[in-house]
Chain A
Amino acid sequence: MRYTLLLHYPEMDAATLGEEVLAAGQQAFASYAATLHQAGVLLAAEVLQPSANTTTLTMAGGALHVQDGPFADTKEQLGGTFVIDVPDLDAAIEWGRQAPSIEWGAVEVRPGGVFTVDGAWVPNT
Chain B
Amino acid sequence: MSGGEAWGVAGRTARASHGRLLALLAAPTGDLAGSEDALSAAYEQALASWPAGGVPRNPEAWLLTVARNRQRDSWKSAYRRSLAPLEAADRLGAPDERLEEVEVDAIGDRRLELLFVCAHPAIDPAVRTPLMLQTVLGLDAARIAAVFNVPASAMAQRLVRAKRRIKEARIPFVVPGRQAMPERLPAVLEAVYGCYAMAWDQDGPGMGGAEVDLRGEAQYLARTLARLLAGESEAWGLAALITLSVARDRGRTGSERVPAGPVPAYLPLDEQDPGMWDARMMAEGDALLRRAASTVTPGSAPGRFQLEAAIQAVHCARARTGATDWYALRTLYTALVAVAPGLGARVALAAVIGRVDGPAAGLSAIERIGDGAPWEVRSAVERFQPYHAARAELLAGAGRRAEASAEFAAAADMASRPGVRDYLLRRAADMGPA
Q: Mark B338-364, 1 if CB is under 8 A from A, else 0.
A: 000000000000000000000000000
In the complex, chain A residues whose CB is within 8 Å of the CB of B172: 87-90
Q: Which residues of chain A in 1-48 are interfacial with respect to chain B, using CB atoms and an 8 Å cutoff?
A: 1
Cross-chain contact of A111 among B85, B120, B170, B174 (Cβ < 8 A): B170
Q: Mark A95-116, 1 if CB is under 8 A from B, else 0.
A: 0000000000000000100000
Docked CA distance A62–B386 (Å): 60
Docked CA distance A29–B121 (Å): 26
In the complex, chain A residues whose CB is within 8 Å of the CB of B171: 88-90
A53 within 8 A of partner (CB): no
CB-defined A-B contacts under 8 Å, sample of 22? A1-B170, A87-B170, A87-B172, A88-B170, A88-B171, A88-B172, A89-B120, A89-B122, A89-B169, A89-B170, A89-B171, A89-B172, A90-B171, A90-B172, A90-B174, A93-B121, A93-B122, A111-B168, A111-B169, A111-B170, A125-B84, A125-B85
Interface size on A, residues (CB 8 A): 8
Q: Mark B154-179, 1 if CB is under 8 A from A, else 0.
A: 00000000000000111110100000
Q: Which of B122, B168, B170 counts the most A-chain CB atoms under 10 A from its CB? A: B170
Q: Which of B120, B121, B122, B169 counts the most A-chain CB atoms under 10 A from its CB? A: B169
In the complex, chain A residues whose CB is within 8 Å of the CB of B170: 1, 87-89, 111
In the complex, chain A residues whose CB is within 8 Å of the CB of B85: 125
In the complex, chain A residues whose CB is within 8 Å of the CB of B122: 89, 93
In the complex, chain A residues whose CB is within 8 Å of the CB of B120: 89
In the complex, chain A residues whose CB is within 8 Å of the CB of B121: 93
Interface size on B, residues (CB 8 A): 11
- Please give the distance in Å from A49's CB to the nearest CB on chain B: 30
Given contacts A88-B172, A125-B84, A125-B85, 17 further A-B contacts (CB under 8 A): A1-B170, A87-B170, A87-B172, A88-B170, A88-B171, A89-B120, A89-B169, A89-B170, A89-B171, A89-B172, A90-B171, A90-B172, A90-B174, A93-B121, A93-B122, A111-B168, A111-B170
Q: Which residues of chain B in 115-134 are interfacial with respect to chain A, using CB atoms and an 8 Å cutoff?
A: 120-122
Q: Which residues of chain A in 47-73 are interfacial with respect to chain B, using CB atoms and an 8 Å cutoff?
A: none
- Please give the distance in Å from A63's CB to the nearest CB on chain B: 36
In the complex, chain A residues whose CB is within 8 Å of the CB of B168: 111
- Please give the distance in Å from A97's CB to the nearest CB on chain B: 10
Q: Which residue of chain B lies nearest to A88 when distances are taken between CB atoms in the complex?
A: B172
- Please give the distance in Å from A113's CB to the nearest CB on chain B: 9
Q: Which residue of chain A lies nearest to B30 when distances are taken between CB atoms in the complex?
A: A88
- Please give the distance in Å from A93's CB to the nearest CB on chain B: 8
Docked CA distance A125–B84 (Å): 10
In the complex, chain B residues whose CB is within 8 Å of the CB of A111: 168-170
In the complex, chain B residues whose CB is within 8 Å of the CB of A89: 120, 122, 169-172
Docked CA distance A1–B30 (Å): 13
Q: Which residue of chain A lies nearest to B166 when distances are taken between CB atoms in the complex?
A: A89
Docked CA distance A1–B169 (Å): 9
In the complex, chain B residues whose CB is within 8 Å of the CB of A1: 170
Q: Which 6 residue pairs of A and B lie closest in terms of their CB atoms, listed nearest first?
A: A88-B172, A88-B170, A111-B169, A89-B169, A89-B171, A90-B172
Q: Which residue of chain A lies nearest to B177 when distances are taken between CB atoms in the complex?
A: A90
Q: Which residue of chain A lies nearest to B180 when distances are taken between CB atoms in the complex?
A: A90
- Please give the distance in Å from B299's CB to the nearest CB on chain A: 28
- Please give the distance in Å from B182's CB to the nearest CB on chain A: 15
Docked CA distance A1–B122 (Å): 17
Docked CA distance A87–B170 (Å): 8
Q: Which of A1, A88, A89, A111 counts the most B-chain CB atoms under 10 A from its CB? A: A89
Docked CA distance A90–B120 (Å): 10
Q: Which residue of chain A lies nearest to B122 when distances are taken between CB atoms in the complex?
A: A89
Docked CA distance A88–B168 (Å): 10
In the complex, chain A residues whose CB is within 8 Å of the CB of B174: 90
Docked CA distance A87–B30 (Å): 12
In the complex, chain B residues whose CB is within 8 Å of the CB of A93: 121-122
Q: Mark A77-92, 1 if CB is under 8 A from B, else 0.
A: 0000000000111100
Q: Which residues of chain B in 94-118 are interfacial with respect to chain A, using CB atoms and an 8 Å cutoff?
A: none
Docked CA distance A88–B84 (Å): 19
- Please give the distance in Å from A120's CB to the nearest CB on chain B: 14
Q: Which residue of chain A lies nearest to B173 when distances are taken between CB atoms in the complex?
A: A88
- Please give the distance in Å from B171's CB to the nearest CB on chain A: 5
Docked CA distance A23–B84 (Å): 47
- Please give the distance in Å from B119's CB to the nearest CB on chain A: 13
- Please give the distance in Å from A67's CB to the nearest CB on chain B: 33
In the complex, chain A residues whose CB is within 8 Å of the CB of B84: 125
Docked CA distance A8–B170 (Å): 23
Docked CA distance A89–B171 (Å): 5
Docked CA distance A88–B122 (Å): 12
Q: Which residue of chain A lies nearest to B121 when distances are taken between CB atoms in the complex?
A: A93
Docked CA distance A125–B83 (Å): 13
Q: Which of A88, A90, A93, A125 counts the most B-chain CB atoms under 10 A from its CB? A: A90
